[in-house]
């Protein structure tokens, strides 16, 4: 992530959960380092599976730490702002133009929020998310599904997520 990234909206609950995960990962750094040192002392590193596994675990933990630090640094925390068009942090209802009886309601937001709500969450970076960003009620937009098919949807309503 770059420092000029678009801010991610997070509920207070999601922010607190991610901050706790970050704190736990940082607190666990000495444990992983000690494991690497213990495995290093076992001898030949080329054939030391325990050493390589510990190094891989360290790499994954450090990547997650960097991701969480950047996400939390750029997060907008609290209730989603009111808007006159679809924006991240909104509960959106759409219907598919090829079947107007097939509507779907979901939260447009970070996948990190998905763990704090039972509602389906779509990322603003997803094909559907990009298509509906900035749309207003009644507006029809088209996006390309992963299978290459163009799909038309109409925004029925949207409101700030309060969950």
- Express each pLDDT in 11-64 by its tens digit: 777 788 889 999 999 999 999 999 888 888 877 777 777 888 888 999 999 999
- Answering whether pTM is above 0.75, one says no
Question: 36 in a domain, yes or no?
Answer: yes
Domain range enclosing 145:
90-160
DSSP letter for each residue of 27-62: HTHHHHHHHHHHHHTTS-GGG-HHHHHHHHHHHHHH
User: How far apart are the C-alpha atoms of 151 and 43, rounded to whole Å?
Assistant: 58
**What is the mean pLDDT of the segment spanning 114-140?**
87
Most confident of 44-53, 140-149, 154-163: 140-149
CA dihedral sign, ordered 67, 162, 116, 131 = negative
Backbone dihedral angles phi then psi of residue 100, each to the nearest 5 degrees? -60, -20
d(CA 14, CA 107): 14
> Tell me, what CATH number does 62's domain have?
1.10.287.180
Domain for residue 84, yes or no? no
CA angle 87, 89, 95 (to 5 degrees): 65
Same structural domain, 63 and 123: no
Boundary-marking domain end, from 20, 44, 77: 77
């Amino acid at each position: 992530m770059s420092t000029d990234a678009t801010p991610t909206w997070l509920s207070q609950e999601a922010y607190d959960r991610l901050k706790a995960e970050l704190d736990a990962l940082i607190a666990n750094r000495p444990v992983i380092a000690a494991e690497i040192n213990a495995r290093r002392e076992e001898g030949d590193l080329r054939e030391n599976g325990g050493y390589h596994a510990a190094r891989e675990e360290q790499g994954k933990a450090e990547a997650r730490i960097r991701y969480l630090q950047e996400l939390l640094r750029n997060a907008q925390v609290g209730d989603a702002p009111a808007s006159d068009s679809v924006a991240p942090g909104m509960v959106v209802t759409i219907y598919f133009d090829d079947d107007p009886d097939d509507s779907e309601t979901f939260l447009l937001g970070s996948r990190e929020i998905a763990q704090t709500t039972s509602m389906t969450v779509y990322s603003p970076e997803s094909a559907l998310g990009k298509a509906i960003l900035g749309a207003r009620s009644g507006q029809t937009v088209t996006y390309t599904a992963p299978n290459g098919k163009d799909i038309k949807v109409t925004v029925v309503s949207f409101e700030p997520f309060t969950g």
